[in-house]
Structure 1
Amino acid sequence: MRAIPSSLDPLVVSEIDRRLSGVSAEHGVRIPWAIESGSRAWGFPSPDSDYDCRFIFVRARGDYLSLWPARDVIETPLDKTFDVNGWDLAKTVKLLARGNATAIEWLRSPIVYTGDAAFREGLLTLAADIVERGSIARHYLHVGRQQQIGETTLKRFFYTLRPAAALRWLADHPQESVPPMDLPTLLVESSVPQPVTDAAAELIAAKAVTRELGTGTPPAILRRFVADELERAEHFETMAPERDPGAVRDIADHYFRSQLG
């Protein structure tokens, strides 16, 4: 499985492919899932946005039985263009069991460097079975609030707008706990008024051709949308867990063991 939009620099993509192959060879792991995260996958890149490749790796079964287990994170050299690192499957499954929204977002990225579709679907099914909807919503609520602290720039505003859109999506899909990753899809799949969607599209278009949007004021209609959605999501702060923790651990354990062969 591979999904690379034409907007990505082919030389950069080739280097990411090379780094992923190097990780597999150097660390003796397989990489069933590698995607783009960050602004490119969120749907609002700038011309100078770096590349945030994230991957999930699986070690040999015997490595998980060692008394001295290897690190559960693998990183490659960081520079102005490349930010390539990944998590062990065990770490990923544990984070899913705790309701970590970042782990879920990796599975919903529209940009895939390399991927086993069955592996992705298996993890998404696991997420649907064990993830607490309240935990995901609280993640986006807290991110949205945090980004409102300090000076607001047009560029930074996107990091408030996307969590607000994710909360709206969750409100519109009461039986779901795994929202899409990118902002345009979140808006399209929600009951967001068309003027809000249009204003967001205009801001995305401006960011796509401007290296630095500056400290201008976001459109009033989008500021109201963000404020309304964060306020409406306050009830998630007190939402009680819906799943039995023991059952969640058992399901996660069973899935993890099934992936080790």
Structure 2
Amino acid sequence: MDEAVVARIEARLADISRDHRVAIPLAIESGSRAWGFPSPDSDYDCRFVFVRPVEHYLSLWQRRDVIETPMDGILDVNGWDLGKALKLLLKGNAVIIEWLNSSIAYGVDPDFRKEFLDLAHQVVDRRLVARHYLHLGERQRRVYFGDDNIVALKKVFYALRPAAALRWLRHHSDASVAPMHFPTLLKGCEAPAAIVAIIEELMARKAVTRELGSGPLPEPVLAFIDTEFEESRKAFPQKPQVINPDFRARAEAFFQAMIRRLSF
């Protein structure tokens, strides 16, 4: 983490808080640096959750539920309103769960993060989380190496991470939240040793080179990805999305409590 870049991120967050009159109780790194497989030239992907003043939520003219800032070189800073984050959580979107678990923080209210993470464990539907990772992984597989020929090797991780998360969920039937940190995830999902060796070699190369380059996708890795997607389609079948009324009520109570506590 470049201290000068971190300082720029912190300054931008301060500007956002002032200009938009929002509290930012969670601001973290969400990209490859937080996932544990950065390159020397990886972007800084700061993501944050914000809370607007109470009167904004009571207005006839609702504000946007996102705050976006221009991409500036390797700096990418964008955030979600707390309400948007909660709605997506109830739908099984794993992004906010990953934000809450990120080990790289630019600014975090520890009580907010703990209470939000506790809520996530209570209300998230593991089947919906699995379907999120399955749709994400299949899309990445299709976009970045659908023809199985020469591929940009760093793109392999975009499908590998969802595949490993799905395997982790299948191997931990009592859990709903997979680790965000990819090396931890890989260890916890008990991937075959041959696959782990190939992945670790790719990660080591990615850590020291700006461009991992292109080449044939290692066949064992491709087989691992496709097998995990196939097994997960069976283990987590598509069903009508019905949100538990109790979960909705808990999320609503959390939302109202945080608005009262954090609005200014």
Matches within 5 A, 1:245-260: 245-260=244-259
| Residue identity matched to 1:169 | W
State how far apart, in whole Å, the 2-side matches of 1:130 and 1:236 are: 20
Q: Deviations over 1:130-168 (max 9, x none)?
A: 211111111111122122223532111111110111011
Q: Could you say which residue in structure 2 is the equivalent of 1:5?
A: none
Does the 8 A contact of 1:132 with 1:242 survive in 2? no
Deviation at 1:125, TM superposition (A): 1.5
Q: Greater shift after overlay, 215-224 or 17-26?
A: 215-224
Matches within 5 A, 1:235-250: 235-238=234-237, 240=239, 245-250=244-249
Deviation at 1:244, TM superposition (A): 5.2
Match of 1:14 among 4, 7, 18: 7
Runs of 4+, deviation exceeding 4 Å: 239-244
TM-score normalised per structure 2? 0.90
Instruction: Call closer, same or farther: CA 1:61–1:129 in 2, change over 3 Å.
Output: same
Q: Cα RMSD between the aligned structures? A: 1.8
Q: Could you say which residue in structure 1 is the equivalent of 2:157?
A: 158
Q: Could you say which residue in structure 1 is the equivalent of 2:136?
A: 143
Q: Could you say which residue in structure 2 is the equivalent of 1:183?
A: 182
Match of 1:132 among 119, 125, 128: 125
Tell whether 2:166 aligns with 1:167.
yes
| Residue identity matched to 1:93 | L
Instruction: Call closer, same or farther: CA 1:167–1:78 in 2, change over 3 Å.
Output: same
Does the 8 A contact of 1:137 with 1:236 survive in 2? no
Matches within 5 A, 1:217-228: 217-228=216-227
Q: Deviations over 1:173-194 (max 9, x none)?
A: 1111111112111012222233
Match of 2:107 among 90, 114, 121: 114
Tell whether 2:58 aligns with 1:65.
yes
Q: Could you say which residue in structure 2 is the equivalent of 1:4?
A: none
Q: Secondary structure of 1:52's match? A: strand
Q: Could you say which residue in structure 1 is the equivalent of 2:81?
A: 88
State how far apart, in whole Å, the 2-side matches of 1:224 and 1:83 are: 33
Q: Deviations over 1:104-124 (max 9, x none)?
A: 111111211111122112111
Matches within 5 A, 1:46-65: 46-65=39-58
Structure 1 runs not aligned, ≥5 long: 1-7
TM-score normalised per structure 1? 0.91
Instruction: Call closer, same or farther: CA 1:173–1:17 in 2, change over 3 Å.
Output: same
Does the 8 A contact of 2:137 with 2:163 survive in 1? yes
| Residue identity matched to 2:247 | V
State how far apart, in whole Å, the 2-side matches of 1:214 and 1:19 are: 33
Deviation at 1:201, TM superposition (A): 1.4
State how far apart, in whole Å, the 2-side matches of 1:30 and 1:20 are: 10
Q: Could you say which residue in structure 2 is the equivalent of 1:27?
A: 20
Does the 8 A contact of 1:130 with 1:243 survive in 2? no
Q: Greater shift after overlay, 233-242 or 172-181?
A: 233-242
Tell whether 2:196 aligns with 1:197.
yes
Structure 2 runs not aligned, ≥5 long: none
Does the 8 A contact of 2:49 with 2:79 survive in 1? yes
Q: Provide the aligned length of Structure 1 versus Structure 2.
A: 254
| Residue identity matched to 1:20 | L
Instruction: Call closer, same or farther: CA 1:39–1:244 in 2, change over 3 Å.
Output: closer
Deviation at 1:239, TM superposition (A): 5.3
| Residue identity matched to 1:185 | T
Does the 8 A contact of 1:57 with 1:86 survive in 2? yes
